[in-house]
């Protein structure tokens, strides 16, 4: 038992693994898969932003450049936000507390809506 607690103290991040007790592995692994899905989404946003720029969609107009920049900036911020979300959920699982509300879906939907409108404006102008 003492060995298990010592190992938990050495795991990173301590503010997550140093709390509560070990949850069912299935829940922790599902949380990790969700985190990895956000990472894949970030890579896709990066690819979309680069593709907009490289392929010159909208002939490098201001809306096209803004959409590309918005997608790339979002792809940089998203992994950090996903890490924070993963930690919040993992802490809740370990403390047997209610899961926190999703915090990434709303802002991501807004970014995608704005980027789509900018691409549409670039193509139609």
Residue/partner pairs of 47-50 with CB below 8 Å, 24 or more apart: 49/75
Instruction: For residue 115, count other CB atoms closer than 10 A to its CB.
Output: 22
> What is the chain's Cα-based Rg?
19
- Which segments of the chain are extended strands (E)? none
Domain boundaries defined on the chain:
24-124
Q: How does the average pLDDT of the chain come out, rounded?
A: 92
Digit-coded pLDDT (tens) for 15-49: 888 889 999 999 999 999 999 999 999 999 999 99
Is it the case that residue 10 has pLDDT exceeding 90? no
For 1, the token pair is 């038992």
The residues near 76 (Cβ < 8 Å, ≥ 6 apart) are: 42
Q: How many CB atoms lie within 10 A of CB 42?
A: 20
Portion of the chain with pLDDT greater than 90, in percent? 82
pLDDT of residue 13: 87
Sign of CA dihedral 7, 8, 13, 15: negative
Query: Tens digit of pLDDT for each residue in 76-100?
Result: 999 999 999 999 999 999 999 999 9
């Amino acid at each position: 038992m003492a060995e298990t607690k010592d190992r938990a103290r050495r795991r990173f991040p301590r503010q997550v693994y140093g709390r509560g007790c070990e949850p069912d592995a299935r829940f922790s692994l599902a949380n990790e898969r969700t985190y990895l899905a956000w990472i894949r989404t970030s890579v896709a946003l990066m690819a979309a932003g680069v593709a907009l720029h490289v392929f010159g969609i909208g002939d490098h107009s201001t809306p096209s450049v803004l959409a590309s920049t918005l997608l790339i900036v979002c792809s940089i911020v998203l992994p950090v936000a996903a890490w924070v979300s993963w930690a919040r959920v993992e802490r809740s699982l370990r403390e047997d507390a209610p899961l926190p509300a999703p915090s990434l879906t709303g802002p991501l939907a807004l970014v995608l809506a704005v980027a789509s409108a900018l691409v549409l404006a670039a193509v139609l102008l």
